Every structure is written in structure tokens, then in C-alpha cells.
Amino acid sequence: MRHSILIGSAQQILGFALLVCMAQAPAFAETNYTISLANPDQHLVEVQILLPEGVAQRELQLPVWNALYQVRDFAQYVNWVRARDGAGRELTVRGLDKSRWQIAGAQGGAVVDYQIFVDSPGPFGAQLNSHHAFFNLAQVLMYPVDARREPMVVRFSHVPEGWHVATPLASMPEGRFSAESYDRLVDSPVEIGLFQELDFDEGGGHYRVVVDAEPGDYNMEKIAAMLRKIVAAAASWMGDRPFSTYMFLYHFPRGPAGGGMEHAYSTAIAVNADVLAKAPEVLASVTAHEFFHLWNVKRIRPQTLEPVDYMRENYTRALWFSEGCTSTAADIIQLRGGLLDERHFEQELASGIGELERRPAHLTQSAEESSLDAWLEGDAYYRRPQRSISYYNKGELLGITLDLAVREASHGQASLREVFQWMNQNYAKKGRFFSDSEGVREAAEAVSHADLGWFFAKYVAGTEEIPWNDFFRTVGVRVVEGKNTAPDAGFVASRNFDGPMTVAAVTAGSEAEHAGLQAGDTVLEINGKTAGQESSQEIARLIPGDTITVKIHARRGGDRELKWKVGSRDEVSYDLKDVESITAEQLARRTAWLKGEAQIPQEALSH
């Protein structure tokens, strides 16, 4: 997935028919869901579950987390739960904990109904309104604890006139969709509404593009042209295409939005319409990242994420790889697809280095610890630069440096590409999961025939400063540090994925402090613009001496408008430049690096 959390300021019903059948002999063996869209204005979804006959006591559970590595307790939105048997007699429903219900007397099958409020927008949410429905089904559907791995069928009722359903789920007659298990069911986002759709084939794969946005805000042909480049570059880089059909689901809202969620056969992505218009490369970048996830994390998967524990956190040390190195691969895919050039790639790396180096926590929190602590990202204090680093940021840089280390250790015969292909062959294709960082090390050492324990000990498990120039020298590049006078607004604010922007810290003695800003205040507007994804750029554009106007909802209550003069501070800036006299060897390595390939074609990896 990808979501920006850090804002450095200073930086009707078939059920009845089935019910009749069931009273005689159950005509189905699988769990059947009907999701009613009858109440879009109130954001209320009614779900009916038909449980086939079986044991008398059944337990139903609603996940506490999904998509984001954050416990969100979706059960808080369940208004009521009821159950009856095939003859219409009421069955006892007993809550076992905040997310689990027990149904008694269900041996002949049961009909369970419940109502749930869904109004959480974006790729990590579930929402029903008068415009559309978008569901991450794990936020909506309870599962029978004893049938999680059994086939499931879902249908939608009371769908408003003219709306269509788009989902990667297998479609069945009568508007039903099926999945082999609950895990597969909830790995399949659903969009229902008045969207545009385009299909194309590329390299033997079939691709569906579904866009729900204002027609004037995007160009479907341009999006399809970009997607062709991404899917072709990714499949050729991996030498693999483990699907026949894949779906891209896009939203381009006018309001605050941003992020993407990966699935095994699809991705759901939201980009703000203005950002899309001004910086279309953002769409390519997030799309390449989410698409590559179909390998890395969905199929090349750490053991610590399996089986998914819907009741509590799955702790993993591997997000630096599963997320960060997915960004590294996305860079390579964009370079290979002609969507990113060398200069912009190097600028992005330099800005990533700056982002890591400027967070004091890079000396206290390792990439593995940042992965374990992902579950704290909802908390503003945790997001402070003194407390945490981002496993996206450091992980992407570890992907770059691991690539360079593998090239050096293998004398150019292997690269990050071979590491991913090795993991694909030896884990994903064999239905095995890898053991977090140890599994990555195993792959990197196998393709480079060298000991890379030092890399993992120092930079993955450890917090040693990364000696950038030692790595980049091998491709004739050096990191140049400069001094920059940066605007300093005197506070640090950040936001959770779709939450409000919260002030995490106010610099002691700053103008911001004198103006009355306090940690814990909610930032509503900065210079007249709604606080959101673009606020960090807004602040970066300020010039020391400018007046900043910040509208807040104070922690102690009340909305206020504060104004103060922006200060300045010296910060180290980073840039990537060519070394003074580049050798033929460095140049050859760099050419291969920018293609994401090994220098000397290796014999096909032993499969």
C-alpha cells in the first residue's frame, strides 16, 4: 500500500427464495452474503448471511484490521445483529467480544442479518453514499470462524438504477460473485456506481481499468497508455505474469485523497484530481508500486503475515522489504518503461536520502523496528521525526543499496532483479512464505554467492549510518551534501491516512509558539487551503519572513486563526552527482543499474 502519513512542516431478496429451499433441503454448501445498498444517504449497509446447515453453535467474526496495518475495530460500526432459523424462528445471538458473535441453534442453517455504517473513503476504506459504493469487504462482512477457508458467494441488492458492479471476483449467474475463501473474498475490492471502464490486452494478460471520477478530470487513453508501459515493464523484469486478468480501480476525488491498496488481482488507487492534472507522474509512481505488489507481498510474502490474523496485529519485520523495496522495484519499472528518466530518478533518491537523514530517529529506530511498529502509525506522537522513521523511505533506499551491494559482491552478475526472481521461484511459486529479513538475505546471498550478513546487520536490523558514497561509487555517482536555508514554520504536523492533520510538536521559542499553537491542535487550513496531502509542499514554498495563516481547532476546544512570521533554519541538502572522472567500469555498472539488469547475462536461474 502507499499512503502519505508524514508532513514535515519544518519540514430484495434472493435470501427469501433460498430460505424456502433451505427449510426443505439446503441447496447450497457455501456461505452466502447479500449486501443491500438500500440506504446510501445514511451510509447504512444491511448484510444478510445465509449459513448452510452444520453444527448448532456458529461463531461470526468481523476483522479488527484490514488493508492498513492499523487496528481500526470495524465492529464499532455494527448497529445490530439478528439471526433466525430456516423456519423463521429467532435464534439467540450472543456477543463474545467486541468483534465476535455466537449464534445458537444453527444446525439446520441460519439467516443472520446485521446493519453496519460505512462512510470511510479511499482505497483503505468502505463507503456507501449517493454517489457510489466502494468496499474493502473485510470492513463489512463477518465470517464464520469455522468456514473461513471454504467457498463464499456474495451478491448486491437494491443497487440504484444504472449503477454497475466492478470487482476482480469471479462472476456467476444472477449477479453473484464467488471466492474460494474469505481471504480471497476480502482481497477483492468492489466498486459499484457510474464508473467508466476500459479493457486492454498486453503481453498475454487482460487488464481492466475502472475509473470513478469527474469525466473532465482525467483522460482514459492517457491512463491506458501509461498502464501498458508499466505492466509490460514489470512482467518482463520479473519474467513472470501470475494472472490472466488484473484490474486497476481509480478514484480521482477533488478533495483530500491519496494512496493505493494492493490486491493479488487488482489495485485500488486514489489521487487528488489537482495532483493528477499538475503531476501525472504521481499516478505512474503509485500505480507501478501497487502493481509490483502483486508479486512482492501478495505472492512473495513474509511468513509473519500468514495466516492473516483478523483479530489482532500480525507483527512483521519485513515491511522495509515488502513496502520499501516495492518502491525500489517501482522506480526500476518506471525507468524501464520510459516513465522516469535518470535525472529525476536521482533527484528522487537524493530527496529520499534527505528525508531519512533529517529524521533524528534514523539513529535509534532500525528498518526492522519501523516495520514492527507500523501499528503505531495512527498516533501523532509516534510520527514525530525524533520517534520514528518510515519503512517506505528507508526500505526504498535499502532496496537501492542492496541492489548495488549485490552487484558489487557478484561482480556485476546479479542485481535486485535476480533477488526478486529467486524469491519468486523459491517461495511464491512453491507456495512458501519467506522468513522476513532472513529470507531476503538468503536470496541475496544465493544470487551473489557472497556473505551479505554485514549489510543486514548494520542497515536492516541496525541503525548504522548508511555510507552512501561507498555504495554509489560503484556506479560512478556521489552524494553531495550542501547547506540550505529552509523555511521553518516552527511546528511539525502529520496525519493518519484519512484523518485530520495534527500538530505533533511546536518548536520552543518559535513564532508559532508565541502565536499560541500547541501540540495536539488540529490543523484545518494553511494559508486558506484545506490541510491535506499538499500541505508539506505548501509550507516548503514559503519564504522566511512570509506570514503563515493557520486555522486550527484547538486541543482545548474552539476554532482559531493564528498568524505568524515564518522563520528559517539551516539544513543539509543532498544531491546526486557524477564522480569526477568516471571509469569505464563504473559507467558499465551504471548503465546496467539504470536498466535494473545484471551486467553479464546469467544463465537462467535454476528453477
Q: Which residues bind Zn ion (CB under 5 A)?
A: 1-2, 323
CB of 291 to Zn ion, least distance (A): 10
Contact 500, 404 (CB under 8 A): no
Please identify, using beta-carbon distances, which residue of 261 and 515 lies nearer to Zn ion: 261
Beta carbon nearer to Zn ion, 366 or 390: 390
Could you tell me which of 107, 88, 118 has the C-alpha nearest to residue 20?
A: 88
Rounded CA-CA distance 320/297 in Å is: 11
| Closest CB 4 distance from Zn ion, rounded Å | 12
Residue 288 Cβ, how far from Zn ion at the closest point, in Å?
11
Say how far apart CA 178 and CA 530 lie, in whole Å. Answer: 41
Pick between residue 2 and residue 384 the one whose CB is nearest to Zn ion: 2
Least distance CB 320 / Zn ion (angstroms): 12
- Residue 1 or 7: the one with the smaller Cβ distance to Zn ion is 1
Q: Identify the helix (H) or strand (E) that includes residue 575.
A: strand 567-578
Report the alpha-carbon distance of residue 64 to residue 308 in Å, rounded: 11
Helix (H) or strand (E) holding 437: helix 436-448
Q: Which is nearer to Zn ion, 324 or 476 (CB)?
A: 324
**Is the Cβ of residue 34 or residue 296 nearer to Zn ion in the bound state?**
296
Which helix (H) or strand (E) segment is 101 a member of? strand 100-103
| 69 vs 195, beta carbon nearer Zn ion | 69
**Least spacing, CB of residue 289 vs Zn ion, in Å:** 6
φ/ψ of residue 232, rounded to 5: -65, -45
Return the beta strands (E) in 412-476 as ranges. none
Distance CA 158, CA 432 (A): 42
Least Å from the CB of residue 324 to Zn ion: 9
Judged by DSSP in three states, 280 sits in: coil
Question: Whole-number minimum distance, CB 285 to Zn ion, in Å?
Answer: 11
What's the closest the beta carbon of residue 465 comes to Zn ion, in angstroms?
A: 26
Distance CA 257, CA 273 (A): 9
CB 488, CB 569: distance < 8 Å: yes
Task: Name the H helices within 295-390.
Answer: 319, 325-336, 342-357, 367-372
Tell me the C-alpha distance between 420 and 208, whole Å: 26
Rg (CA), the chain: 26
Q: Please say which residue, 103 or 286, places its beta carbon nearer to Zn ion.
A: 286
User: HSE (CB half, 13 Å, CA atoms) of 258?
Assistant: 20
| CA–centroid distance for 146 within its chain | 29
Distance CA 114, CA 593 (A): 54
Which is closer to Zn ion, CB of 293 or CB of 407? 293
CB of 115 to Zn ion, least distance (A): 32
Q: How many CB atoms lie within 10 A of CB 524?
A: 16
Tell the smallest beta-carbon distance from residue 292 to Zn ion (Å). 9
| Residue (36 or 267) nearer to Zn ion, CB | 267
CA angle 212, 171, 240 (to 5 degrees): 80
Do 571 and 11 meet the contact criterion of CB atoms below 8 Å apart?
yes
Residues 179/169, Cβ–Cβ less than 8 Å: yes
User: Which residue of the chain is nearest Zn ion when measured via CB?
Assistant: 1
Nearer to Zn ion, 1 or 185 (CB): 1
Grid cell 476480502 is found at 186
Q: How far apart are CA 239 and CA 233, in angstroms?
A: 10
- Find the shortest distance in angstroms from Cβ 511 to Zn ion: 37
Record the cell numbers describing residue 567, joined without a space: 522563520
Between 166 and 329, whose beta carbon lies closer to Zn ion? 329
For Zn ion, the closer of residues 156 and 392 by Cβ is: 392
- d(CA 340, CA 233) in angstroms, rounded, equals 12
| Smaller CB separation from Zn ion, 37 or 186 | 186
Say if residues 103 and 58 touch (Cβ distance below 8 Å).
yes
Q: Give the nearest distance from C-beta 260 to Zn ion in angstroms.
A: 7
What Å distances lie between residue 117 and 28, 279, 349, CA to CA? Answer: 29, 35, 42
Task: Kindly report whether the peptide bond that precedes residue 26 is cis, defined as omega within 30 degrees of 0.
Answer: no
Give the count of beta carbons closer than 10 Å to the beta carbon of residue 547.
Answer: 11
Task: Select 187 or 488, whichever has its Cβ closest to Zn ion.
Answer: 187
Nearest approach in angstroms of CB 74 to Zn ion is 21
Are the C-beta atoms of 463 and 362 separated by less than 8 Å? yes
**Residue 272: CB minimum distance to Zn ion, A:** 18
Calpha distance 48→46 (Å, rounded): 7
Instruction: Provide the minimum distance between the beta carbon of 296 and Zn ion in the complex, in angstroms, as a whole number.
Output: 9
